[in-house]
Amino acid sequence: MQLTLRHTLRLSLGTPARAVAHVLLTPPSTPQQQVERWSIDMPGIAEAASFRDGFGNRAQLVSLVKPAGELLVVAEGRVKTIDKAGVLGRLQYDPVPALFRRATALTGPDAALLDGLADGPDRIALFHELMGRICERTAGQSQDTAGQSQSQGGDATAADRTHAFLGAARALGAPARYVTGYLLDDGGTAAVHAWAEAWDESLGWIGFDPTLNLCPAESHVRLAAGLDAMSCPPLRTVPVWLDGPAETVEITAG
Amino acid sequence: MTNVDGSIREPYSILDQWLKQQPAEAMGVMAADAEAIFRRLGITFAVYGSNEGTEKLIPFDIIPRIISAVEWRRLSKAIEQRVRALNAFLHDIYHRQEILRAGRIPEKLILDNSAFCPEMMGLDPARGVYSHIIGVDIVRVGPDDWYVLEDNLRTPSGVSYMLEDREAMLQLAPDLFQRLKVAPVDSYPENLRRTLDSVAPPGASGAPTLAVLTPGIYNSAYFEHSFLADQMGAELCEGQDLFVENGKVFMRTTMGPRRVDVIYRRIDDDYLDPLTFKPDSMLGVPGLFDAYRAGNVTLVNAPGTGIADDKAVYTYVPEIIEFYLGEKPLLKNVPTYNCTRADERAYVLEHIAELVVKEVHGSGGYGMLVGPTSTKEMHDIFREKILARPDNYIVQPTLALSTCPTYVESGVAPRHVDLRPYVLVGDQIRITPGGLTRVALKQGSLVVNSSQGGGTKDTWVLED
């Protein structure tokens, strides 16, 4: 599916003499998506240092000298998504999968979620079971992916569910990582989103979206991956912004 | 100084004669002179949690410790082997993790370790060196029988004492240097500068700009930071003196911003850069780590080197040497009990009065138990601590540490010593002959840390 995306963040840093921003707003081309064009517009981006971070993501370090009261960041472009039934496989700059067995403060295991589960030969079935359990448990909660603080890449619900998935998968011995990106839902609403990828020895990385109880296909656009929401937010700044950024995402298909 | 049979060890014979020739009151005068010299040099250190003013004079013993040329050759070869293996280990841990895949070290011990830095994954530092400045703490328990107590690959301190101890001895006993051919140590600052120059990022100009990054005057080693910067002609900076612009690091100077190529940082990983690590750190430089990842500056030592000197990883260093170098370790590890294993824990709990208990992430002699010199109450407290958090402690037997003649109130008496040689790794490996000898000044004490009442003495490596 051909998607045209535009992601806008507005934030205020106050009026420091200098600010720096760590930007993870560059979607990679993968078996699931081909990036046809992409650009980030913000003050200082032309002189930014561009590099790979420890998780294999394309990152930019942007400096802002005497930033204006309001900072506007716009990431936009065209991406063709391809349905691979959630299978991402192996990416060139991926670190060793074992790294994503590291437990973090946000990905503590939940005993209730793990009840009766064990790592076995069919890991994919196990991941589906986990995803299903998380959805079932949170069935009463809103699945509305828009409208909440999105500063950590995905609304609180998606982030919490993804962390629950990661904590459980890692506790079972499976590498699993946090993924940030965009989602175009069935109603045509676009949002910043987050989901998980879990490791299978034969297929590589496979996406699991515990918010929607499905494997990401043509409606998900992947930005970056990390250990948890803290390790790969789309934007991080020093000084920290005063108000959570006002964000809008527009996606049009076709 | 003496052999088991009481005879004088060969390297000490001239010192022994010299000591016997000194008039009775000469030693006391010399000790007083030494104190005056150190006061003038301004060498102090801070003791955390002490009420009597923060700055103290580190006790200095006027009798040097002597190592023969043969002994030193063997020792420095062994140390070089160890630091080569540890740097290879760091490269592997931050790349393909072959040693974990091979099952030689438990994966959890590394990946869930707080000293492991995931942000370092895939980074290739200049010349492939992660830890450039290393201190290896070793002890001698018999003739040519050395053990490594711990490795220090983060920000080892104390090298300024090594240099100043020599400076003081040259003033106090110039005649002894006539009788003995002592390997000089004064090239350390120059070698440090060469090492740092050699690991400048590829884009740096011919003469790279070096900065020493200090947490500031309240740090216990601030004197050393300023001393080393001064000695090697580098700028001493605090975080606020540096800034990152367009992916490069600059120093504020009266002449305007100046690009910095290599930073010898004496700030802990967590506080280096609030953009990547602790967001509330006021000590670091925002954006520094990203500038490092972008290849625009070299951090010395690299973040995440602590995974190689973690006290739990220490027990695997012999494995690490064999895995990467295919060689037998030349230096021994102290046998270490792993309290997470039921059988070893049971032994430890039963024999705690004979053992030394250290916190896995502790340093400076804080939070440790030396069984033989501790009370029953302390033994019980540590038994409970181990039971509560077995993974937080390592336990070792108390070694029969060698002693050196030391001038104390009652005259010259044996006191336990250790040795911290300093290793520089860049275009080549440079080891300063000798190192810092720390001495436990209390009779019978095995704890040499300056924060726990230890002192230092000059270390003489004899030349052939």
Last residue of a domain, one of B378, B397, B416: B397
Helix (H) or strand (E) holding A51: strand A49-52
Closest residue, chain B, to A51 (C-alpha) = B294
A102 and A158 in a single domain? The answer is: yes
Q: Please tell me the total count of domains within chain B.
A: 2
For residue A96, the chain B residues in CB contact (below 8 A) are 95-97, 121
Task: Report the Cα B343 to chain-centroid distance in Å.
Answer: 32
**Closest by Cβ to A236, choosing from B116, B275, B291:** B275
Which one-letter amino acid corresponds to residue B434?
Answer: G
**pLDDT score recorded for residue B55:** 60
How close does chain B come to A186, measured CA to CA in Å? 36
Q: Could you report the average pLDDT of every consecutive run of 10 residues in chain B (464 residues)?
A: 76 87 86 84 57 66 94 96 98 98 95 96 97 96 88 93 94 92 96 97 87 93 93 95 96 95 97 95 94 97 96 92 98 90 92 90 76 91 93 87 85 90 98 95 80 87 92
A136 and A40 in a single domain? The answer is: no
**pLDDT score recorded for residue A117:** 87
Helix (H) or strand (E) holding B385: helix B376-388
**Closest by Cβ to B279, choosing from A53, A54, A240:** A240
**Residue A152 banded pLDDT, cuts 50, 70, 90:** very low
A47 and A126 in a single domain? The answer is: no
**Side-by-side strand order, sheet with B242-245:** B242-245, B248-251, B258-259
**Residue A55 banded pLDDT, cuts 50, 70, 90:** very high
Last residue of a domain, one of B346, B378, B397: B397
Among A61, A62, A91, the residue to mutate for chain B (most B Cβ within 10 A): A61
Inspect the interface and report whether the beta carbons of B119 and A54 lie closer than 8 Å.
yes
B147 and B44 in a single domain? The answer is: yes
Inspect the interface and report whether the beta carbons of A49 and B294 lie closer than 8 Å.
yes
How close does chain A come to B301, measured CA to CA in Å? 18
A96 is in which domain, residue-wise?
83-229
B18 and B134 in a single domain? The answer is: yes
Closest residue, chain B, to A17 (C-alpha) = B243
A106 and A58 in a single domain? The answer is: no
List the CATH number of the domain containing A17. 2.60.40.2250
A123 and A219 in a single domain? The answer is: yes
For residue B111, the chain A residues in CB contact (below 8 A) are 98-99, 101-102
List the CATH number of the domain containing A110. 3.10.620
A150 and A194 in a single domain? The answer is: yes
Lowest mean per-residue pLDDT among A147-151, A206-210, B260-264, B448-452: A147-151
Q: Please tell me the total count of domains within chain A.
A: 2
**Residue A148 banded pLDDT, cuts 50, 70, 90:** very low
Across chain A, what does the average pLDDT equal? 91
B345 and B363 in a single domain? The answer is: yes
A137 and A193 in a single domain? The answer is: yes
Closest residue, chain B, to A45 (C-alpha) = B246
B313 and B346 in a single domain? The answer is: no
**pLDDT score recorded for residue A146:** 40
Closest residue, chain B, to A230 (C-alpha) = B276
A203 and A90 in a single domain? The answer is: yes
Inspect the interface and report whether the beta carbons of B276 and A102 lie closer than 8 Å.
no
A112 and A214 in a single domain? The answer is: yes
Q: How far are the Cα atoms of A112, A121, B262, B276 from residue A175, in angstroms, in the given order?
A: 20, 15, 36, 23
B196 and B160 in a single domain? The answer is: yes
B350 is in which domain, residue-wise?
337-397
**Residue A151 banded pLDDT, cuts 50, 70, 90:** very low
Distance, CA of A215 to CA of A32 (rounded, Å): 12
Picking from B418, B442, B398, B423, the residue whose alpha carbon sits closest to that of residue B65 is: B418
Chain B residues with a Cβ under 8 Å from any Cβ in chain A? 95-97, 100-101, 107, 111-112, 116, 118-123, 243-248, 274-276, 279, 286-287, 290-291, 293-296
Q: Looking at residues A47-63, what average pLDDT do you find?
A: 97
B61 and B88 in a single domain? The answer is: yes
Closest residue, chain B, to A58 (C-alpha) = B294
Q: How many CA atoms lie within 13 A of B190 on its CB side?
A: 4
How close does chain A come to B443, measured CA to CA in Å? 46
Distance, CA of B42 to CA of A180 (rounded, Å): 54
How close does chain B come to A207, measured CA to CA in Å? 22
B425 and B363 in a single domain? The answer is: no
For residue B274, the chain A residues in CB contact (below 8 A) are 238
For residue A103, the chain B residues in CB contact (below 8 A) are 112
Three-state secondary structure readout of A233-250: CCEEEECCCCCCCEEEEE
**Closest by Cβ to B275, choosing from A20, A103, A231:** A20
Q: Which one has a higher pLDDT value, B19 or A38?
A: A38
Number of A:B CB contacts under 8 A?
91
Chain A residues with a Cβ under 8 Å from any Cβ in chain B? 18-20, 22, 44, 47-56, 59, 61, 63, 65, 93, 95-96, 98-99, 101-103, 227, 231, 236-238, 240
Distance, CA of B378 to CA of B320 (rounded, Å): 35
Q: How far are the Cα atoms of A5, A81, A170, A252, B191 from residue A36, in angstroms, in the given order?
A: 11, 11, 34, 15, 51
Q: Is residue B244 part of a domain?
A: no
A64 and A108 in a single domain? The answer is: no
Closest residue, chain B, to A49 (C-alpha) = B247
Q: What is the DSSP string of B89-122?
A: HHHHHTTT-HHHHTTSS-HHHHHT-TT--GGGTT
Inspect the interface and report whether the beta carbons of B293 and A50 lie closer than 8 Å.
no
Q: Is residue A9 scored above 60 in pLDDT? A: yes
**Residue A139 banded pLDDT, cuts 50, 70, 90:** low
Contacts of B167 (CB under 8 A, 6+ apart): B37, B41
How close does chain B come to A184, measured CA to CA in Å? 31
Distance, CA of A84 to CA of A94 (rounded, Å): 19
A116 and A6 in a single domain? The answer is: no
**pLDDT score recorded for residue A153:** 47
**Closest by Cβ to A47, choosing from B246, B279, B287:** B246
For residue B293, the chain A residues in CB contact (below 8 A) are 51-54, 59
For residue A53, the chain B residues in CB contact (below 8 A) are 119, 293
Inspect the interface and report whether the beta carbons of B294 and A50 lie closer than 8 Å.
yes
For residue B296, the chain A residues in CB contact (below 8 A) are 49
Inspect the interface and report whether the beta carbons of A95 and B279 lie closer than 8 Å.
no
Q: Is residue A164 scored above 50 in pLDDT? A: yes
B379 and B426 in a single domain? The answer is: no
Task: Using the structure block, give the residue that is written with the tokens 């990431």.
Answer: A75
Closest residue, chain A, to B100 (C-alpha) = A98
B375 and B443 in a single domain? The answer is: no
How close does chain A come to B31, measured CA to CA in Å? 52
CB < 8 Å & 24+ apart, contacts of A84-87: A84/A31, A84/A32, A84/A217, A85/A215, A85/A217, A86/A206, A86/A207, A86/A208, A86/A214, A86/A215, A86/A216, A86/A217, A87/A31, A87/A32, A87/A203, A87/A204, A87/A205, A87/A206, A87/A207, A87/A215
How close does chain A come to B246, measured CA to CA in Å? 5
**Closest by Cβ to A98, choosing from B100, B122, B276:** B100
CB A13 within 8 A of CB A64: yes
Task: Using the structure block, give the residue that is written with the tokens 């001895």.
Answer: B169
A180 and A222 in a single domain? The answer is: yes
Closest residue, chain B, to A60 (C-alpha) = B290
What SS3 state is found at B386? helix
List the CATH number of the domain containing B346. 3.30.1490.270
B30 and B114 in a single domain? The answer is: yes
Inspect the interface and report whether the beta carbons of B112 and A238 lie closer than 8 Å.
no
Last residue of a domain, one of B382, B397, B412: B397
**pLDDT score recorded for residue B322:** 98
Q: What is the ipTM of this complex?
A: 0.93
**Closest by Cβ to A61, choosing from B116, B119, B287:** B287
B457 and B344 in a single domain? The answer is: no
B195 and B131 in a single domain? The answer is: yes
For residue A20, the chain B residues in CB contact (below 8 A) are 244, 275, 286-287, 290
